[in-house]
Amino acid sequence: MNDKDANWIGLVIAGARAKGVAALYRYFRDLDLAEEAFQEASLRALKSWPRNGPPRDPAAWLILVGRNSGIDSVRRRARFTELPEEDKISDTSDAETDIADRIDESHYRDDILRLLFVCCHPDLPATQQIALALRIVSGLSVKQIAGAFLVSEAAMEQRITRAKARIAKSGAQFETPDAADRAERVGAVAAMAYLVFNEGYTSAGERAETRATFADEAIRLARLLLGLFPSEPELMGLLALMLIQHSRDAARFDAEGAIILLDDQDRSLWNRAMIDEGLALIDKAMRHRTPGIFQVQAAIAAIHAHAKTAAETDWAEIDILYRVLERLQPSPVVTLNRAVAVSKTEGPQAALDLIEPLADALGNYFYFHGLRGGLLKDLGRTEEARLAFDIAIAHANTSAEALHIRAHLDHLSTPESV
């Protein structure tokens, strides 16, 4: 098999993974077995498809081959266990008809939803939800995931294993949830997808490859969700928000990995195709007139995307949107973000007055101390600014963040800033 075959087969398998693993999980009700079965089917595809060409329905092919492989695996394991009573293992149903029925397109939606619901099971902490989704749904290697979280492969493998064990112990439900439960859980899946995106956007910092991998996978998850619920405006907002934020990736860091603030970015480096798609999604979502947190955040991102230069940014409109977000999702972080808009429209003192009451809630938050230091510097309160920047460095998540604050401190030390 040549590289060209490997590339197109890899893309087809990646596109079919969510459907395949989800359907196999329904069959076997075992995440490990579903993963192993899909992996075995993928290996057989790598051998078969270069000779015979891709099947008409690659997902169905992988599901059938994976199911047979999984059944063989179950049988091998069964040799070492005592068989149950005959009436409990006899099956006189038409197996072929059942298989055909289960891989029908009508089942894919519920199968994929079930898999996504499992990955964001409420018993799992956020980090385990992210790791499990990236491993099970996206198919990233343990090494890739571990690199993003700055832990060893062994530690990440253990984290994923614990997550699977907790799911198995909790007795995850396999029936299709009702409308009310589905709406709540889709919201949880959307939040989990955004956690995946944020893990790359913020925590991955200067690691460009990891940023792109996490962003691409989060966007793929958002597309998957929107494909399942094409008329859901919040999912339109989620995808739009990710696309517009990720469109700026090439401009966010300089050649040395130092952070470039939004106002200073070279906007010609922004990906206009992503921005245009995001803006179209926002327009479509707004027609539903049911605002949600992702739609509002996407609208804020859109204002930045519309501005040809930093000076043209409509900060007053951004302030209004953050006020809406504060009503929809009261949070000190939301208020902290609104303070940036306030500093642009009303000045640094008004912004400082807004964030000072957040000190207790955000005492360990890097961006709180970084913004506070910047506002104090603008007000000429140099010593207080230096102290705030020192605290920010102590809470930096990446070396890029620390370097950015260090540059502010260096500027405070120059004669013209004293």
Answer whether residue 100 shows pLDDT above 90.
Answer: no
Contact criterion met (CB below 8 Å) for 388 and 376: yes
pLDDT of residue 91: 44
Quickly state the pLDDT bin for 89 (edges 50, 70, 90): very low
User: Looking at residue 154, what is its pLDDT?
Assistant: 92
Higher pLDDT, 72 or 341: 341
Is the entire prediction scored with pTM above 0.85? no
Buried b / exposed e along 186-220 (16+ C-beta atoms within 10 A) = bbbbbebbbbbbbbbbebbbbbeebbebbbebbbb
Judged against a pLDDT cut of 50, whether residue 98 lies above it is answered with: no
The pLDDT tens digits of the residues spanning 323-334 come to: 999 999 999 999
> Higher-confidence residue: 227 or 335?
335
- Out of 48-52, 166-170, 237-241, 246-250, the most confident range is 237-241
Report the pLDDT value the prediction gives residue 324, as an integer from 0 to 100: 97
Residue 363 has pLDDT above 90, yes or no: yes
Q: Looking at residue 181, what is its pLDDT?
A: 65
For the chain, state the CA radius of gyration.
Answer: 25
Q: What is the pLDDT averaged over residues 113-117?
A: 82
pLDDT tens sequence across 177-220: 566 666 767 888 888 888 888 877 765 444 566 667 788 888 98
Give residue 6's pLDDT.
76
Cβ partners under 8 Å of residue 407, min gap 6: 258
Q: How confident is the model over 298-317, as pLDDT tens digits?
A: 999 999 999 999 999 999 99
Which pair of structure tokens corresponds to residue 172?
A: 């995850």
Q: Name the residue with higher pLDDT: 383 or 78.
A: 383
pLDDT value of position 101: 44
Assigned fold of 1-80: Rna Polymerase Sigma Factor; Chain: A (1.10.1740)
Own/partner pairs, 366-373, CB within 8 angstroms, 24+ separation: 366/392, 366/395, 366/396, 366/397, 366/401, 367/333, 367/336, 368/336, 369/395, 370/401, 370/404, 370/405, 371/336, 371/339, 371/340, 373/405, 373/408
Q: Say how far apart CA 324 and CA 321 lie, in whole Å.
A: 5
Check pLDDT > 80 for residue 268.
yes
The pLDDT of residue 397: 80
When pLDDT is cut at 50, 70 and 90, the band that residue 95 belongs to is very low
Mutual angle of helices 315-328 and 293-306, in 10-degree steps: 170
| pLDDT value of position 103 | 45
- The Cα angle at residue 16 between residues 15 and 17, in degrees rounded to 5: 95
- Work out the average pLDDT over 4-8: 76
Q: Which residue has the tokens 């401009």?
A: 251
In angstroms, the CA 38 to CA 16 distance is: 10
Annotated domain spans of the chain: 1-80, 110-168+180-228
**What rounded mean pLDDT belongs to the chain?**
85
Flag whether pLDDT at 133 surpasses 90: no
Task: Report the pLDDT averaged over residues 346-361.
Answer: 97
Q: What is the pLDDT of residue 128?
A: 87
- The per-residue pLDDT for 208 is 61
Mean pLDDT of all residues in 268-285: 97
Query: Rounded mean pLDDT of 133-148?
Result: 84
Q: Measuring CA to CA, which residue among 325, 337, 272, 279 is closest to residue 303?
A: 279
